[in-house]
Amino acid sequence: MHPAFSVILFTVISGAGYGLFILLAAFHLAGIGPAMSHGELLAHGAASLGMITLGLMLSTGHLANKKNAWRSFMRFKTSWLSREAVFAVLFYPFAGIYGLGVLLQGAAIGPLPALAGVIAAVLAVITLFSTGMIYGCLKTIRQWNTALTPANYIMLGIATGTTLFAAIATVFGNATTLHAGVAMVALVAAAVLKGIYYFWISRVNGPTINTATTFNRATVRLLDTGHTAGTFLTDEFGYDPRKDTIDNVKMGVFLLGFVAPVLVFASILSGAPAGIAWLAAVSSLIGIGMERWLFFAEAKHVVRLYHGAQTCTNSLAEPARGRAAVAPATDPTDARRWELGDTPGGSGS
Amino acid sequence: MRLGLVIDMDTCVGCHACAVACKQWNTSGTTGALTDYRPYGEDPSGVWFNRVRHYEVGDYPNNKTVNIPMSCMHCQHADCVNVCPTGASYKRPEDGIVLVDQDKCMGCNYCAWACPYGARELDREDGVMKKCTLCVDRIYDEQLPPEERQPACVITCPAHARFFGDFDDDNSEVSRLVRERGGVKQMPELGYKPVNTYLPPRITRPIPIDDVRANRVVSSVKDWVNKMVAR
């Protein structure tokens, strides 16, 4: 799949925003951790709402017809994209009531804003789930069509949220070992889940060029796609990054997204200044940005089978198994060489 | 009604006439234009509702070229319609044709992601998704003589490899062909239940080629002389 930059930014930034809000609601409303000052509560809330809003605005960047974006709320009944849009917007009034309660009453808010805060946190989880299901429900992309997809979206949102939560707490001198501990647990859990996903997609199977063309009893090779230049389909689905690029980015995902932030929090626990939590936050956001790029780059749409891919995991360049159609080029009477005008002996007449 | 196409992979010669006729009719049809990008440039591209691809089936010498024209299958379980967030994509209950309301489409590409057959293409100029309409602006047009109330691709096919009809009617030509020729569906395992059905190549006696020229001494000498003279 062609990785749309606006979608990568949207899912990473608003995902972290929802994660931050979930952490804020959990720490504040369930009374976990140290008491937060009025200013700290507002800072967490403003940061999460700001990131969510920025992400949602960026998400319209990949629409070809932005003036109809409002219509995306219309098919809640069947479309996960519609559900995501509805839940994302439904989040705002509840988060707003909670935020207003904090603004007016401080940390000791009344039961109504507290209830709104809990509902908003639940809606944040549901929105992350819906984002994952947008991809998870597609039967055409075997790498996405798994329960691990929404699970990853929720866990990565929460993990990046925890790093931001710990980083913002340092500004108010309120970061504790609990902040660092929670962040480490969330990061490790997200890393394990992502590792399972990568293991899973390395061995998915599904439709092949045989079931796509209906010829199940013979080798099928693409002779010609029928077009001389790229099409919408090849632009959108023909994305084929090199294997070593994928491996390098995957290394970056684990190093920047998980290992470096965990090391930062570990060093905070063993006495380093708490302020370096910002390094963890920035590093995890960059790492998860790489993860999101990889999520698209590694997804192989089944329409590629019509463009020559042999299986739903192959790159387009990989040849078919079975005997080659043309004899090897060592034979001087080889049809292929004749076709290329490369006559034996080099006589060009 | 369940309208759709039957495509005969035995007789299709891969001439792309269906694709061109489709483009010609639909570019001025209800969901036109089928925009071309850089039509006179180095790499001309554009929107097509119908594309023909060519495959080699089997290994030499038991191989065969098969041409596969593909357009919207008007699936019974059309996920492209289910995933559409705006309601622009819809499947008509009366005849099963899947259409895009271009006034509602926001161009998010999600339906194209959900389609396994590559039937949907975004028009970058108009910013909306476009797809085969089964010539809905033609098949019901009572101004046309009855024999012309068929999709443009079907009428134009010089090999008579394309058929249009109602799959719910057991006595229709398409139902009969599917029954008699053992019609097959592409990627049935995904469960989209495509309506368009493909007829596999007929099993025929191979055309003998070994008796065209006997391998005798005289012909070998002739071959050698011809080769020498050519040089």
Smallest Cα distance from A29 to chain B, Å? 34
Number of CB pairs < 8 Å for A and B? 193
Residues B45, A219: C-beta atoms closer than 8 Å: no
Check CB contact of A82 with chain B, cutoff 8 Å: yes
Q: How far apart are alpha carbons A197 and B205 in whole angstroms?
A: 50
Mean pLDDT of A113-138: 97
Report the residue from A64, A141, A220 with minimal CB separation from B107: A64
Chain A residue with CA closest to B192: the answer is: A139
Smallest Cα distance from B85 to chain A, Å? 5
Task: Read off the pLDDT band of A224 (50, 70, 90).
Answer: very high
Residue A319: CB partners within 8 Å, gap ≥ 6?
A221, A310
Report the residue from A206, A223, A232 with minimal CB separation from B65: A223
A51-55's contacts with Cβ under 8 Å and 24+ in sequence apart are A51/A13, A51/A14, A51/A16, A51/A17, A51/A20, A52/A14, A52/A17, A52/A18, A52/A21, A52/A88, A52/A91, A53/A17, A54/A13, A54/A14, A54/A17, A55/A9, A55/A10, A55/A11, A55/A12, A55/A13, A55/A14, A55/A15, A55/A17
Residues A212, B56: C-beta atoms closer than 8 Å: no
Chain B residue with CA closest to A62: the answer is: B108
Cβ-contact A123, A112 below 8 angstroms: no
Asked if the model's pLDDT at residue A336 lies above 50, the reply is no
Smallest Cα distance from B170 to chain A, Å? 23
Residues 180-199 of A with CB under 8 A from B: none
- The three state secondary structure string of chain A is CCCCHHHHHHHHHHHHHHHHHHHHHHHHHCCCCCCCCHHHHHHHHHHHHHHHHHHHHHHHHHCCCHHHHHHHHCCCCCCHHHHHHHHHHHHHHHHHHHHHHHHHHCCCCCHHHHHHHHHHHHHHHHHHHHHHHHHHCCCCECCCCCCHHHHHHHHHHHHHHHHHHHHHHHHCCCCCHHHHHHHHHHHHHHHHHHHHHHHHHCCCCCCEHHHHHCCCCCCEEEEECCCCCCCHHHHHHCCCCCHHHHHHHHHHHHHHHHHHHHHHHHHHHCCCCHHHHHHHHHHHHHHHHHHHHHHHHCCCEHHHHHHCCCECCCCCCCCCCCCCCCCCCCCCCCHHHHHCCCCHHHCCC
Report the residue from B51, B85, B104 with minimal CB separation from A82: B85
How far from each other are the two terminal CA atoms of chain B, in whole angstroms? Answer: 66
> What are chain B's domains?
3-199 (3.30.70.20)
Q: What are the chain A neighbours of B128 within 8 Å (beta carbons)?
A: 64-65
At B205 the pLDDT is 77
Smallest Cα distance from A180 to chain B, Å? 39
Superfamily of domain A5-63+71-319: Formate dehydrogenase/DMSO reductase domain (1.20.1630.10)
> Which is higher by pLDDT, A19 or A34?
A19
Asked if the model's pLDDT at residue A333 lies above 50, the reply is no
> Which is higher by pLDDT, A241 or A317?
A241
Check CB contact of A234 with chain B, cutoff 8 Å: no
At A327 the pLDDT is 41
Note the pLDDT tens digit of each residue in B38-87.
999 999 999 999 999 999 999 988 899 999 999 999 999 999 999 999 99
Residues B106, A66: C-beta atoms closer than 8 Å: yes
At B208 the pLDDT is 74
Chain B residue with CA closest to A63: the answer is: B108
Note the pLDDT tens digit of each residue in B132-169.
999 999 999 999 999 999 999 999 999 999 999 999 99
The least confident of A37-46, A130-139, A317-326, B205-214 is A317-326
Report the residue from A67, A212, A228 with minimal CB separation from B186: A212
Task: Read off the pLDDT band of A267 (50, 70, 90).
Answer: very high
Check CB contact of A204 with chain B, cutoff 8 Å: no
Residues A65, B83: C-beta atoms closer than 8 Å: no
Please give the mean pLDDT across all residues of chain B.
94
Residue ranges per structural domain of chain A:
5-63+71-319
Task: Read off the pLDDT band of A199 (50, 70, 90).
Answer: very high
Task: Read off the pLDDT band of B213 (50, 70, 90).
Answer: low
Check CB contact of A210 with chain B, cutoff 8 Å: no
Smallest Cα distance from A324 to chain B, Å? 7
Check CB contact of A228 with chain B, cutoff 8 Å: yes
Report the residue from A1, A68, A307 with minimal CB separation from B106: A68
Q: What are the chain B neighbours of A71 within 8 Å (beta carbons)?
A: 85-88, 104, 106
Residues 45-74 of A with CB under 8 A from B: 62-69, 71-74
The least confident of A10-14, A201-205, B201-205 is B201-205
At B211 the pLDDT is 66
Task: Read off the pLDDT band of A322 (50, 70, 90).
Answer: low
Asked if the model's pLDDT at residue A146 lies above 50, the reply is yes
At B39 the pLDDT is 93
Smallest Cα distance from B141 to chain A, Å? 31
Q: What are the chain B neighbours of A138 within 8 Å (beta carbons)?
A: 79, 83, 113-114
